A and B are shown apart, each in its own frame.
Chain A
């Protein structure tokens, strides 16, 4: 992929940090653990980078090997992260009818 001039990705990065601050600040403290595991799962977006690096015509090269290793770790990150987050979120229940 052709690299863009630094300013474009940098702008996106800085703006995204601010969006992150705004959105995350509204998460109640009760949900801080699922927030962490959920954002953890999202950081498994590295799977994209891993796929790009591991998928090439030169099978057997060091770089493809490293890319495949990255695919494994990123997938654990994605799947493990979403699974534990969902397990936790499903536990939070309102008060049921009084016995």
Chain B
């Protein structure tokens, strides 16, 4: 049934190495729970990977029977590994911090396609597929299905984040029905493969269907929902790896795939909760497509006050505590370094500066934290929703930079608002709110932000970077 059968002693040795690798992965992830230990955790995890890969090479080597020429084979393996390493290093070292969401999406996709390829390769190398057990075939089918969806889904997410295709949802008639039918077809094909293991074409169909399905599932999801999509695809890449593990009866793959799958699911849950939406609503809701009309035609709620940079600087000067609220707009304008510079000027005057970070600010979980860390903002100043909300009453100025829906007080009281119930940053409770924004256009959810009409809110229209630099210069001049 299999090309090589191990003697149990050799497998035992490699098995222990896999177990140790799994322990290293878990310890590595555990060390991510504090910022101080995190970099070492990553190294511990990488050591686990080196160990697992090394043990595998040993494992395959042990299979070499006299007379078989494995040298040529090994050479090809090293060539392939070299190409992958070079590409990984190139991508990993060159990517800008602002491009990190795309990068993570791409890596998820590569994990997915690897699992798909492994499942196909293992199926094709069996001399007599009828001897493959049913659960192995099922796992192979699932690895292909999940891996394929992860691959093309991630490529679509990458294209949306990179701006290659539009970030707004792409909808077509009967979309959900078509997707459901395709998924059903995949499941049926897998079932048929289990019944007729010799029908190679069935697995081929699953490959094609899964690749198309991945595209169709992600195109209707809008740009601002990307944190959920990326987390979910992260989870899928883990599940696909676990399925490949079932195919190969390889514990290291199963354990690790399960860890990554769990991690992605947790992040997905956190993101959905932070938007007060169900996963189904994010995946199938098409939120952010065309403006619903209802949202834009609402009655004018008052006057919008525009502030000049001088006036805003005077208010900032008099503050004791300033809370910066960054959003995707800051990332687009690449304004994180300018923000840090402004914070330095404020702190030099004895003003306390903190940063309020909403879980879904940006395009992936933790996006704002990474950008601000890049600008050397100390991590103690990065506050999450629960930590910062009680502090807005004692805050003199909340400076909202390129964030919108996550600051809309309508989420607290307007029961008819699409964002009602979403946990928001209570910036309106600060004495003064300045909003740096290019125009009065509504945010992603297509909802007018009533914050802008509040009596304590002043608008600073313009590109985030220019406005923030302008504020810094005003403060420097007056100091």
| Interface residues of A, Cβ cutoff 8 Å to B | 1-4, 6, 9, 12-14, 16-21, 23-59, 61-64, 66-96, 99
Contact = CB atoms under 8 A, between A and B. Distances in A.
Nearest to A30: B369
| Number of chain B interface residues as a range | 35 or more
Among B43, B68, B262, B357: residue with most chain A CB under 10 A: B262
Given A1-B249, A94-B380, A95-B378, 5 more contacts: A27-B32, A42-B48, A66-B117, A76-B87, A79-B85
Contact of B84 (A41, A72, A88, A99): A72
B3 A30 contact: no
Interface string B224-263: 0000001100100110011011111111111111111111
Given A59-B72, A91-B374, A77 B35 contact: no
B301 interface: no
Contacts of A93: 373, 376, 378-379
Contacts of A90: 39
Interface in B262-276: 262-267, 270
Interface string B76-117: 110011011101110111010100100110011011011101
Interface in B35-71: 35, 38-39, 41-43, 45-46, 48-49, 52-53, 56-57, 59-60, 68-70
A39 B365 contact: no
What 8 A-B pairs are tightest by C-beta distance, nearest first?
Answer: A75-B84, A20-B262, A79-B88, A83-B92, A32-B366, A16-B258, A32-B365, A33-B366
B73 interface: yes
Given A27-B32, A57-B3, A74-B114, A19 B26 contact: yes
Contacts of A46: 111, 114-115, 118, 241, 244, 253
7 contacts: A17-B261, A24-B29, A24-B259, A29-B357, A36-B234, A61-B125, A76-B84
A42 B366 contact: no
B422 to A, nearest CB: 16
A36 B118 contact: no
B367 A27 contact: no
B365 A36 contact: yes
Contacts of A57: 3, 68-70, 73
A48 B52 contact: yes
Contact of B92 (A51, A69, A79): A79
A71 B262 contact: no
B133 interface: yes
Contact of A37 (B2, B104, B123): B104
Contacts of B83: 72, 75
A2 B11 CA distance: 10
Among A32, A36, A37, A94: residue with most chain B CB under 10 A: A36
B208 interface: no
B157 to A, nearest CB: 13
Chain A interface main SS type: helix
B369 A33 contact: yes
Contact of B365 (A4, A33, A45): A33
A36 B363 CA distance: 13
Interface in B114-171: 114-115, 117-118, 120-125, 133, 135-136
Nearest to B61: A55
A48 B384 CA distance: 38
A5 B251 CA distance: 13
B118 A49 contact: yes
A69 B117 CA distance: 7
Nearest to B64: A57
A21 B264 CA distance: 10
A1 B380 contact: no
Contact of A48 (B81, B125, B237, B250): B250
A87 B35 CA distance: 13
A76 B3 contact: no
Contacts of A26: 30, 33
B74 interface: yes
A29 B384 contact: yes
Contact of A74 (B84, B120, B255, B260): B84
Contacts of A55: 57, 60, 70, 73-74, 77
Contact of A86 (B26, B42, B91, B241): B42
A14 B254 CA distance: 9
A41 B265 CA distance: 17
B91 A80 contact: yes
Contacts of B73: 54-57, 59, 64
Nearest to A78: B49
Nearest to A55: B60
B250 A52 contact: yes
Contacts of B381: 95
A89 B39 contact: yes
Contact of B261 (A20, A23, A61): A20
Given A63-B122, A66-B124, A36 B117 contact: no
B370 interface: yes
Among A42, A45, A81, A96: residue with most chain B CB under 10 A: A45
